[in-house]
Structure 1
Amino acid sequence: MSSTESPTVPTASVPPEAAPARVAEGERLRSVCLPGVTLSIRSRRPASRGLPPTLFVHGLGGSSQNWSALMAALDGVVDGEAVDLPGFGESPPPDDGDYSVTGHARAVIRYLDAADRGPVHLFGNSLGGAVATRVAAVRPDLVRSLTLVSPALPELRIQRGAVPTGLLGVPGVAVLFTRLTRRWTAEQRVRGVTALCYGDPARVSQESFQQAVEELERRLRLPYFWDAMAHSARGIVNAYTLGGQHGLWRQAERVLAPTLLIYGGRDQLVGFRMARKAARSFRNSRLLSLPDAGHVAMMEYPDVVARAFRELLAEVGDSGARTVADRPRGAATKGAGS
C-alpha cells in the first residue's frame, strides 16, 4: 500500500476542472493506491493512542463527508476513518469498472487488509450497509462490530422514493435523466436529495446545505459521475435478485459480529418495516428505532447514533472478546426521535 497525506487528495486523482473536496476542521484526506483501485480516506487524528479502529462506508451518491458529523461526535472514542467508494467522493473509478456490491466490498476488503489496523468497527449506510454486510459475512476476521444505518437490503415492496434509484440502473436511463435535468441547478438537486433523505429537511443548517451544493457542483464536473451512479444503482438492483449463499439476507445470517441496526421512521428509501426482519436475521443484534429520522440518521441525529454505538462498544469491550451473544436475537429495541 502506498499512501500520501495532505490537506487534499493528490491532483492525479481529480481532473483539473474539479476542485478538491472540502475537509472539515480536524479532518484530513489521503489517497491510498491498491491493486486495481485508488481510494480516498477521510480521517480524524486520534485523540489518544490505542483507540478502537473504525471504518465508515457511505451510500449511493454520497461520500465520506456523510460521516463527518458522527466522526466528530465519536472523537476521543474511536480512531475513525471513512472511505470514498470507487467513483465517489475523491476516489476515481475502479480499474475494472466493477460497481457491484461485491466490487465495492472487494475494495473495502483490500483497504482493510492493506491498512492492517486489525478488526475494525465497521459502519455502513444504505448501499454502504449492503457493502458492510457482505464484508462482515465473507471476512469476519476484519470486523469487530457492525453498525448499519438504513442498510440497502432486499425488500419485496420497494419504497416509492427508491423507485427512481432503481430506474437509474436501467441502461440508458442515466443519459436520459441527464438530458432532462440539464437545466437543474446544483441547489435544486440538493434540495431534492435533502427532501428525500432527511426526515426533517429543516434540520439541515444553511452552512451544511451550501457545502452540499459546492460538493455537488464539484462532482458534476467529473466525467464519470453519472456512470458511477448508474452502475452502482444497477449493482444494488442486481444484489437484490441474488439468491442462495450470495443473497444479502443469507449473508446477514452469517454475520458473527455484534450488530447495531438503526432505522428511521420517515425513511423514504428503506422501509421502516424492514427493521424487524433485520433484527431477526442478524444473529447478534440490537435495534435502534428513530421515528423522526429519515435515511441518513448519522447526519440528522449524530449524537443519538454516537450514544448507541458507545453502548455497543462498552459491551463488546476493547479486546472484542465479549459480545452480546447471550441476548436473544434482535431483542434489544430502543426508540428515540430527537
Structure 2
Amino acid sequence: MTRVPLSTTPLPPLDPALPPWPGGLERDGGTTLHVRRTPGMDGSTAVYVHGLGGSSTNWTDLAALLSPAAAGRALDLPGFGFSEPEPDFGFRLADHAEVVARYVAGLGAGPVHLLGNSMGGAIAMMVAARRPELVKTLTLISPAMPDRRPDPRRLSDPLMALAYLPVVGAGVRRRMAGLTARERAAQVIALCFDDPARFPEQRLDELTVEHSARAGFAWAAQAMERSTFGIFRQWTAFGEDSLWSIATRVRVPSLVIWGLHDRVISVRRAERTARLLPNARLLVLPRTGHVAQMERPNVVARAVLGLWEGAGQGDW
C-alpha cells in the first residue's frame, strides 16, 4: 500500500453545529443544478459529487475543513437533493458525468480539485478520464467500482438490496415508503456509517428534513431507481466502457480513500482501484464505513490536503 502523506497544515476548528452551506440553482455549461457554495481561497476550486441517494449536504464538514485551501462547490446531481432533472435525462453514469463536466467547464475557473463519493466517485473518475483538462486532482471516497458478488448481508436492511430489482422491487419499495422520513434517514446512516452513534443528532434532523422535502418531488423516486440501474449497467460493461478500464485512463494525481468496514462497496475493491489508477495512492481507514468524509472528516481533510500539496509541488 502506497504511503499517503497527511498534511500538517492546521485545519480550522470544525463547528459541530455547522448548518449546511447555502445553496441555490446555478446554470453553468448549459445545465441547471442545485449547488451549495463554500467560500474559500481565490484561484482554487473544489467540486464535490455525492453518491446514490445522497446530496450536497454530504460534504458540509469536509468542505468547511478544506475552505482555507479552496472554495467549494457541492453539487446535487440531477434527480437528487434539490436538482430537478431535465425530462429526457438518461441517469446513466455517463449522463451524470457529462453534466458534471459541463458544470465544471462552465465555471471557467480552470482545472478543479474533483472529489466524489460512491456513485459520485465513479462519476468523478469518468470526468477525469474523459476531460482531463478540467481536473487538477481526483479524490475518490469508496467509489462505486464493479462488484458482481454483492453480499446483501452487508446491508443494515436486506430490503434495500431488493428494492430496485425487477418484479419484486415495486412491492419492496411500497413497503419502504411506509417508513417515516426520520426512519428512512436513520436507515441510511445505519448502512453508511461504521458506528451510527457518531452521526450527530443535528445532522439526523437535517437529513430528516431533506427526506421530507424530497418526498414531495415527483421525480425523486424515478431518479433513484434509474440511477441504480445505471450503476448496475456500468458494472456489467466490458472493454473500454468498463470502470476498471476507465480507471487506467486517468492521468491526474489521485487519492483513493476507503472505509475498512464499508457495507455498501466492499473494501476488497480498494487495492485494485488504486493500482489501476496510474498516479494514485490508497488510504484505508479503520472503524470507518461508506462515507468517510462524514464519519472521519478531519483525517480525510488531511489526506486530501496532502494530495493537493503534493500535486502542487510535483511530488505525488
Aligned identity (percent) is 40
Q: Cα 1:133–1:177, aligned 2, differ >3 Å: closer, same or farther?
A: same
Cα offset for 1:128? 0.1
Kindly provide the CA deviation profile for residues 2-43 of structure 1, in whole angstroms up to 9, marking residues without a partner as x: xxxxxxxxxxxxxxxxxxxxxx65832131235774211111
- 3-state SS of paired residue (1:307): helix
Cα offset for 1:91? 0.5
Kindly provide the CA deviation profile for residues 84-129 of structure 1, in whole angstroms up to 9, marking residues without a partner as x: 1001111101332311100100100111111111111100000001
**Is the CA contact (8 Å cut-off) linking 2:33 and 2:78 kept in structure 1?**
yes
Residue 228 of structure 1: aligned partner:
223
Residue 20 of structure 1: aligned partner:
none
Residue 21 of structure 2: aligned partner:
27
Q: Cα 1:300–1:230, aligned 2, differ >3 Å: closer, same or farther?
A: same
Distance in 2, matches of 1:284 and 1:177, equals 42
Matched, 1:49 2:17: no
Match of 2:33 among 34, 39, 63: 39
**Is the CA contact (8 Å cut-off) linking 1:136 and 1:257 kept in structure 2?**
yes
Amino acid at match of 1:53: T
**Is the CA contact (8 Å cut-off) linking 1:145 and 1:259 kept in structure 2?**
yes
- 3-state SS of paired residue (1:41): strand
Q: Structure 1 segments of 4 or more deviating over 6 A? A: none
Matched, 1:268 2:263: yes
| TM-score normalised by the chain length of structure 2 | 0.88
Residue 305 of structure 2: aligned partner:
310
Residue 244 of structure 1: aligned partner:
239
Matched, 1:188 2:180: no
Distance in 2, matches of 1:57 and 1:182, equals 26
Distance in 1, matches of 2:37 and 2:216, equals 25
Residue 98 of structure 1: aligned partner:
90
Matched, 1:77 2:69: yes
Residue 12 of structure 1: aligned partner:
none
Match of 2:102 among 73, 94, 110: 110
Matched, 1:287 2:248: no
Q: Cα 1:169–1:179, aligned 2, differ >3 Å: closer, same or farther?
A: closer
Counterpart mapping for 1:68-217 below 5 A: 68-160=60-152, 161=154, 167-171=162-166, 175-217=170-212
Distance in 2, matches of 1:232 and 1:173, equals 18
**Is the CA contact (8 Å cut-off) linking 1:258 and 1:285 kept in structure 2?**
yes
Kindly provide the CA deviation profile for residues 184-222 of structure 1, in whole angstroms up to 9, marking residues without a partner as x: 111111121111100110101111111111111111111
- 3-state SS of paired residue (2:179): coil
Long gaps (5+) in structure 2: 1-17
Q: Cα 1:264–1:178, aligned 2, differ >3 Å: closer, same or farther?
A: same
Residue 13 of structure 1: aligned partner:
none
Amino acid at match of 2:141: V
Cα offset for 1:45? 1.8
| TM-score normalised by the chain length of structure 1 | 0.83
Q: Cα 1:174–1:42, aligned 2, differ >3 Å: closer, same or farther?
A: farther
Distance in 2, matches of 1:220 and 1:308, equals 36
Q: Which has the higher contact order (CA 8 A, sep 6+)?
A: 2
Long gaps (5+) in structure 1: 1-23, 325-338
Matched, 1:59 2:54: no
Amino acid at match of 1:155: D
**Is the CA contact (8 Å cut-off) linking 1:275 and 1:287 kept in structure 2?**
yes
Cα offset for 1:251? 0.5
Distance in 2, matches of 1:110 and 1:297, equals 27
Distance in 2, matches of 1:35 and 1:278, equals 30
- 3-state SS of paired residue (2:140): strand
User: Which is further off, 26-35 or 183-192?
Assistant: 26-35
Q: Cα 1:173–1:223, aligned 2, differ >3 Å: closer, same or farther?
A: farther
Coordinate RMSD, CA, aligned = 2.0
Distance in 2, matches of 1:65 and 1:26, equals 6
Q: Cα 1:34–1:77, aligned 2, differ >3 Å: closer, same or farther?
A: closer
Distance in 2, matches of 1:323 and 1:87, equals 39
Task: Count residues in correspondence.
Answer: 297
**Is the CA contact (8 Å cut-off) linking 1:169 and 1:237 kept in structure 2?**
no
- 3-state SS of paired residue (2:267): coil
Match of 1:277 among 248, 253, 272: 272
Distance in 2, matches of 1:295 and 1:159, equals 15
Kindly provide the CA deviation profile for residues 58-78 of structure 1, in whole angstroms up to 9, marking residues without a partner as x: 000000000011001112111
Cα offset for 1:159? 3.5
